[in-house]
Amino acid sequence: MASMLMCFLVFFGATLAAGFSDAQPKPVPGLSYTFYKSTCPKLESIISKQLKKEFKKDIGLAAGLLRLHFHDCFVQGCDASVLLDGSASGPSEQDALPNLTLRPAAFKAINDLRALINKKCGVVVSCADVVAVAARDSVALSGGPNYKVPLGRRDGLTFATQNVTLADLPPPTSNVSFLINTLNKLNLTITDLVTLSGGHTIGLAHCTSFTNRLYQTQDTNMDKTFAKNLKLTCPAANTTNTTVNDIRTPNTFDNKYYVDLMNRQGLFTSDQGLYSDSRTKSLVLKFALNQTQFFEQFALSMVKMGQLSVLTGSKGEIRTNCSARNSGSGLWSVLEPLVETASTF
Ligand code: HEM
Ligand SMILES: *[C@@H]1O[C@H](CO)[C@@H](O)[C@H](O)[C@H]1NC(C)=O
Ligand SMILES: *[C@@H]1O[C@H](CO)[C@@H](O)[C@H](O)[C@H]1NC(C)=O
Ligand SMILES: *[C@@H]1O[C@H](CO)[C@@H](O)[C@H](O)[C@H]1NC(C)=O
Ligand SMILES: *[C@@H]1O[C@H](CO)[C@@H](O)[C@H](O)[C@H]1NC(C)=O
Ligand SMILES: *[C@@H]1O[C@H](CO)[C@@H](O)[C@H](O)[C@H]1NC(C)=O
Ligand SMILES: *[C@@H]1O[C@H](CO)[C@@H](O)[C@H](O)[C@H]1NC(C)=O
Ligand SMILES: *[C@@H]1O[C@H](CO)[C@@H](O)[C@H](O)[C@H]1NC(C)=O
Ligand SMILES: *[C@@H]1O[C@H](CO)[C@@H](O)[C@H](O)[C@H]1NC(C)=O
């Protein structure tokens, strides 16, 4: 039954995407919808086939992969720097703040995909593109829209420090003004903010991400029964327990996140604020009432987020191992694009 529902949702998502393909956004210079058509034609089926298998074992991985793409793009652009060992949120620093609790399984899944793709196509696909496609499949295979992803990103040579990472990712305690400003710096709009926050329709959060709303004083903007139950899961501010982001349909990508907000059952200050602030409330209502409108906008906002400060052409590199820079990449890879640009004149 559940898998039938999943099939239906995926099919529906696919037709939906076909339905608004006319409105498919124009990729930024250097990216295209057909980038690997000749060099790795099976890329997208390799990824979706593998993820379908993995999600059957652990649907939570979908949330992990979606969030990984978000963190990658918000911190120095979608260049897979988040995957590098040594990155402030990367796999080797998981016990140093701010690892921001990215799932280790998501890093592993990207490296597993990397190995499969290298075997079939050689080292031609960037890790940043694998992350972007995996995020799309995570959405689509969880019941959300199935949109086309512009490809051709290159992998960055430098990882983000703790400071940069902290400065680029807004905390869950953020108010709406702060969120609007943060996204505005990335050329993302208020609509993008409300829409992308809908990613919280799947996945988990640790108590520490929202206990500011339970202790010492309780946030009056939270439903009392909801708060009471959260206190059972999080009896103290420092417990390591987790809870679901969307209490209605925790593993399905749908518009129930917005219904939660209307019922004051949003988990983070940054979530619930979207229903209190006059600049964002009407959009929350619109998405809660019409899932199609949420899906259409989510596809657009994801494509936009997925193209933030991308490296293209001969910038960066194609990593063989997503967790490490290619050996020997250093000054030369940084200088090469400059030389190439100069020679085109
Ligand atoms: C707008 C600002 C955002 C804030 C403040 C925020 C904050 C957070 C926090 C604190 C968590 C829980 C981490 C934990 O306690 O383990 C979380 C989880 C998550 N976020 Fe966001 N987030 C934001 C935007 C986004 C965006 C744009 C997406 C994707 C489109 C996204 C997707 C997710 C997902 C899927 C999870 C669950 C991850 C898992 O289960 O492993 N978030 N977010
Ligand atoms: C992230 O770091 C915090 C604080 O050091 C730690 O408690 C948490 O377990 C880490 N998360 C992961 C997923 O390793
Ligand atoms: C990081 O931020 C801290 C606190 O703001 C500051 O003291 C430190 O110098 C910064 N480090 C770097 C490398 O920018
Ligand atoms: C929103 O948060 C920012 C940063 O924490 C703070 O400076 C500002 O005063 C807050 N605005 C409101 C209206 O609470
Ligand atoms: C935002 O847009 C401006 C003007 O088009 C551009 O210069 C800037 O690089 C963009 N910022 C990002 C992060 O994409
Ligand atoms: C949460 O953690 C506490 C210990 O910190 C534990 O006693 C409690 O049973 C946990 N609750 C749930 C719902 O997991
Ligand atoms: C949480 O804090 C309490 C009181 O300070 C302490 O007794 C307990 O060991 C802490 N629990 C964890 C999981 O850190
Ligand atoms: C929801 O939005 C879609 C797309 O804009 C529209 O075609 C449809 O009629 C709307 N559904 C309802 C129930 O309003
Ligand atoms: C990839 O790089 C990481 C970090 O340097 C290393 O730990 C790992 O063993 C490498 N994986 C492979 C398959 O070489």
Instruction: Print pLDDT tens along the chain (345 aa).
Output: 444 444 444 444 444 444 444 468 999 999 999 999 999 999 999 999 999 999 999 999 999 999 999 999 999 999 999 999 877 766 655 444 444 578 999 999 999 999 999 999 999 999 999 999 999 999 999 999 999 999 999 999 998 887 788 889 999 999 999 999 999 999 999 999 999 999 999 999 999 999 999 998 999 999 999 999 999 999 998 899 999 999 999 999 999 999 999 999 999 999 999 999 999 999 999 999 999 999 999 999 999 999 999 999 999 999 999 999 998 765 443 333 333 332 222
Helices (H), 75-142: 104-121, 127-141
- Which tokens belong to 236? 């103290």
Phi, psi of 155 (to 5 degrees): -90, 140
> Any known ligand binding at 81?
yes
The protein residue whose alpha carbon is closest to atom 5 in ligand 9 is: 324
For ligand 4, the distance from its centroid to the CA atom of residue 220, given in whole angstroms, is 18
Say whether 183 sits in a helix, a strand or coil.
Answer: helix
The protein residue whose alpha carbon is closest to atom 14 in ligand 3 is: 163
What's CA 137's distance to the chain center, in Å? 11
Q: How far apart are CA 326 and CA 130, in angstroms?
A: 17
Q: How far apart are CA 243 and CA 234, in angstroms?
A: 9
What's CA 121's distance to the chain center, in Å? 25
Q: How far apart are CA 225 and CA 242, in angstroms?
A: 18
For ligand 8, the distance from its centroid to the CA atom of residue 290, given in whole angstroms, is 6
For ligand 3, the distance from its centroid to the CA atom of residue 243, given in whole angstroms, is 33
Query: Which of 173, 178, 182, 221 to mutate for ligand 4's pocket (most ligand atoms within 8 Å of CB)?
Result: 178
pTM above 0.85, yes or no: yes
Give the ligand 5 atom nearest the CA of 187: 1
Q: Is the shortest distance between the CB of 202 and ligand 1 below 6 Å?
A: yes
In whole angstroms, how far apart are CA 136 and each of 38, 106, 250, 253, 296?
Answer: 21, 14, 18, 11, 13
Which ligand has an atom closest to residue 207 CA?
1
DSSP letter at 220 equals T
Say whether 206 sits in a helix, a strand or coil.
Answer: strand
Helix or strand (DSSP H, E) at 225: helix 224-233
Environment class of 112 (CB within 10 Å of its CB; exposed 0-12, middle 13-18, buried 19+): middle
DSSP letter at 147 equals -
Listed residue (70, 307, 240, 304) closest to 165, CA to CA: 70
**Can you name the residues that pair with 205 across neighbouring β-strands?**
243
The set of protein residues with a Cβ atom below 6 angstroms from ligand 7 is 236, 238-240
